[in-house]
Structure 1
Amino acid sequence: MHRGSQFQRGQALIYGIFVLMGGLTALFFLFNTGQLSSEKTKLVNTADAVAYSAGVMQARALNFDAYSNRALVANEVLVAQMVSLSSWGQYVSTHADNLTREFPDCRNPVIAIPAALYNYDLLYGIFCFATTSFGVGAIDLAGRTVTTGAAAVIIPVEASKRAILSSQALLHAPAYLQNASLRVMQEVADRNYAGDGAVTVAAFTGLPSGASPAATDVLNGFTTQYADAARLRFAEVAKLAAYSDDFVRERNWTSEALVSPPHEWKCVWRNKKNSVKRRGGTELINLDEWKAEDTESSWRFTNGGGLLNTRCNLTEHPIGYGEQQARPSEMDQDESGAQLGGSPGTNPRASGAASSSAWTAYTGLPSFYDLSDLDPTRNPVMQFRVRLTRSAAGTRTSAGTSAIASTPRLNNFQNNFADGVMTAVAGGEVFFERPLTVPNDPSQGNDNQYAAKTGSPDRREIGSLFNPYWQVRLMQKVSPP
């Protein structure tokens, strides 16, 4: 029995060798699986960072369009204001020149003040006397200076407009934004893999199907340039902005007083009122002309001829008038329907006496970029996807740069990479949403800030390229490109 036990020695070693080989194999697979999982996680995180960076560039491009459109609108508002000031300056000059002719009693304060108290108002009488006695020359000079200064503003306004349009054209030029986006995405990917091999941004599906990066604008299909007759939306925005200035929209007042006895006794008997009517306003005519007009007329009742004629005749006596246009030299618009604050309809003689001058350096409303889909029932969202690839030879696995890869006897279990690469896909969305007025305030309404601001739950602010509230987020589910 003692001799038999000696022959059984070492049998457990054979079993132990097999167990050790199995453990080493499991350890190898555990290492390889961990490395694959780490590589995949890093590639997915990098794809998310790349997609978000691309979305930020697109959102900034849309916000740049919005800011530049608002700058173009501001230029139009300035033109409207300068046209209004020029018309007002001309009106002031003619008003000072004509006042003594229309109101000769203004030359004498003993007559002017009592007459003003009865016929119009005290302030008008004081102004009338002061103007005719001391200020005619100064007021006329001031009016002409305002007109000249307003005209000088048009040249820098047009230069600013050209600069803004040039920057928009560069942004939307074929391949400019696309190539810039590709460079940024590749740089983000390289920074994430600094010192750890190469990764390639293999696809960016913000492009139309089949288009090459050098042939199109990354925003192609989502934005459109509107020109010529399609500038109506810009015209609406420009008018709303310009008419927020009350001086541009309308410059009206009326002063009335009963006809004074013993003059025009028939009109006194009929309780008629004389009046001074001031009318003025500025208007955008069609799409290429701003026009302003200012008039003031005295409307007086006089007795009808003959003792038996009880009729009172109302006559317009123009006092002041001015008119200014800003339009391209070759475009004289049809102005027959212009209201101009009611000036042509209320004071027709004064309106006819106003000499119209045009600033032909003005080029009209500019072309502009806006969304292609302007349907207010749809919320505009621009989606895109990116695909990152990493060669299997560059990964820290048994198929790449790990120590096992350099040991053929250990590296008998190869990774099965499809086409020899590891791939990750990420997507993003550029969307429009006004930020919360008060951060982290649930009452602001996270899903509808415009409704919370206006107090109308059924109203939503729709995205456009006139408000710079474009943001980016990652897509939850992304299908492979």
Structure 2
Amino acid sequence: MGDRPIAMPSTQQGQAMPLALVLLIVLCIGLLVTFNTGQITGKKVEITNAADAAAYSIAVEQARARNLAAYLNRGRVANEVAVAQMVSLNSWVTMVHSTSANFQDITKWAKFIPYIGPVIGAIDKALQVVNRALKVLRKNVLIPGFKLAIGTLDQVLNRAYATTAQVVLSDLANEANLHAMVGKIVRDNSPDAKVSAAGRTVLTMDAAQANNDLTLFKPGQVDGLHRTNVGGERYRNVVMASRDDFSRDRRTSLGPLGSNGGTDLVEYDRWSGVDVHEFRLNLLITTIKIPLGWGGTQAVDEDQPRFFAGMNNGRGWRSPYDNRTYRAYNGVTSRDIAGRLIENDPASRDQGFQKREAFFTQYKHGITHPYYDVKEPARGERVGYAELPEGDKAGPIFTVEVETEARNARSSSAIGAGAGRMELKDDARGGKLRAMASAQVYFNRPHEYAPFKRMVWGRGDGKFEQGSMFSPYWQARLVETPRADKLILLAGP
């Protein structure tokens, strides 16, 4: 039998091509999905950064505005302290002048006493020189210089500070500035994005709430001896607590000889200071005080009011910061002989000074200018506004919503890729991509610094200082968007 050829199995051709096409379609769809995801994610990150930048910038701007107002208020307080120092110094120098003049009168008779006469005569000559020097100092330097300085501080600087602080924190300036600033910041970070209509509504509401958290107090030129108001008391408390030691307490003693005096903001537009040097004889049941010299000075408008009884009709100043009551004029009263002498002759008439020279009438306004400060806590509130640096009551929150057209993400559908069955539609609410962010202005004077830094910037008692428009420690931070703002934004078109 002859050999027969072996039959080879037939090969199948063309079956892999459909599989390759399917894989290619899946690959293309995957690439489009990846491309779209990257584009949309990139645009979302961009507008999120824009929203963060806008919200944080608003908070920073508002914190700076509050800090500027605080610095301006502190400037006014510093000016008031300077007026108190000038009143104190003139009153004290008048007392020294009066004392030296009275001692000189005594030495005129004592220098004829045998043996000690030459010594008394030398003292008399020295007192003559002192008296002449003090008279020239008061007449040509202190009185005209202090009048000019007080007029400048009160009528020029304090008015300018008060006006600027009101403009910085005014409702109209805040709202207009916020909308202009947020629009620019959004465009700088995402040129094709803008603040949504709902976002502008929320921002307007936030600005109104921020302004509502502050109150414009108006001390006014009222009779601060008999009638008070909240604004006047708040500001006067800060000013009185800020006095230097010389203005607050001029008590000194050397054996039976001693001096005493103090300067108080008796009303909202009147500084008054008195000084006395006296001989004190302590007996069992009382102390006899014989005045050797005295003086008084007031910074007022035009009148020449009485010195006594003093602040709060002689009751003194009740400090809300340390719960202490400080006596009017540091204890000098009209019941003493010195008090009556000061009332009748505060400028040392026997040395050629008229009573009117004890009154600096360039002090026209005092602390009567309006000023902004944080609201008082509502009755029953456990935590008042800006009392703690954490929480929704730490300070105002500003929310920004940024939107852009979904096609600005340059996805496949936006650029025309993947038409037909390969088209992947962008499903965005209203055809827009959105991002929201919130930032808060809060007050925090830190207390955990090292000793030197704590001495300069922070508290050393471990307590939180309550926020106010007198302390420039307002700061900014990003926070979670409040639920109320979210609901409004999510309900928008």
Normalised by the length of structure 2, the TM-score is 0.74
SS in 2 for 1:149: helix
2:144 to 144, 148, 157: 148
**1:99 alignment partner in structure 2:** 103
Question: What does residue 132 of structure 1 align with?
Answer: 127
Partner amino acid for 2:116? I
Aligned residue runs from structure 1 range 392-403, under 5 A: 392-400=406-414, 402=415
| Equivalent residues in 2 for 1:316-465, closer than 5 Å | 318-329=291-302, 332=305, 335-336=308-309, 337-338=313-314, 339-344=328-333, 345-346=335-336, 347-355=338-346, 357-362=358-363, 363-365=365-367, 366-374=369-377, 377-378=383-384, 379=388, 380-400=394-414, 402=415, 404=417, 408-409=419-420, 412-435=423-446, 438=449, 450=459, 453-454=460-461, 459-465=463-469
Query: In the aligned structure 2, how far is the partner of 1:433 from the partner of 1:32?
Result: 45
Deviates most, 160-169 or 350-359:
350-359
Q: Alignment partner for residue 213 of structure 2, among 207, 216, 222?
A: 222
* Structure 2 residue 185 is the aligned partner of structure 1 residue 188: yes
Return the match for 2:269 from 288, 298, 306: 288
Name the structure 2 match of 1:240. Answer: 241
Aligned positions of 1:166-177 closer than 5 A: 166-177=163-174
Distance 2:112 2:96 in 1: 22
Q: CA deviation at 1:352?
A: 3.3
The higher relative CO (CA closer than 8 Å, separation ≥ 6) is in: 2
After the TM superposition, which of the residue ranges 22-31 and 159-168 deviates more from structure 2?
A: 22-31
Cα distance in 1 for partners of 2:159, 2:181 equals: 29
CA RMSD of aligned residues (A): 3.6
Deviation sequence 1:396-420 (CA, Å, 0-9, x none): 22354x463xx74477321011112
TM norm structure 1: 0.75
Q: Secondary structure at the match of 1:381?
A: coil
Q: Which residue of 2 aligns with 1:62?
A: 66
How far residue 59 of structure 1 moved from its aligned partner, in angstroms, is 1.0
Q: Which residue of 1 aligns with 2:250?
A: 251
Change (3 A) 1:299 1:148: farther
Matched with 1:30 is 34
Q: Aligned equivalents of 2:20 and 2:437: distance in 1? A: 48
> Unpaired runs of 5+ in structure 2?
1-6, 220-228, 315-327, 347-354, 389-393
Q: Secondary structure at the match of 2:16?
A: helix
Match of 1:53 among 38, 53, 57: 57
Q: Is the CA contact 1:84–1:248 (under 8 Å) kept in the aligned structure 2?
A: yes
User: SS in structure 1 opposite 2:144?
Assistant: helix
Task: Check the 8 A contact 1:93/1:141 in 2, yes or no.
Answer: no
CA deviation map 1:203-260 (0-9, x unaligned): 2577564x9xxxx767311211111222212111101111xx222112233455xxxx
| CA-CA distance at 1:282 after TM superposition | 0.8
Mapped to 1, the partners of 2:213 and 2:111 lie a distance apart of: 68
Q: Are the structure 2 counterparts of residues 178 and 253 from structure 1 closer, same or farther at C-alpha, using a change threshold of 3 Å? A: same
SS of equivalent to 2:467: coil
* Cα deviations by residue, 1:362-386 (Å, 9 ceiling, x for unpaired): 2121332111245794423222211
**C-alpha offsets along residues 80-121 of structure 1, whole Å, 9 cap, x if unaligned?**
011112222333443344333244346569536878xxxxxx
The number of residues matched between the two structures is 417
**Residue matched to 2:472:** 468
CA distance in structure 2 between the aligned counterparts of 1:423 and 1:333, rounded to whole angstroms = 68
Task: Determine what percentage of the aligned residue pairs are the same residue.
Answer: 26
Q: Could you tell me how far apart the structure 2 residues matched to 1:332 and 1:48 are?
A: 58
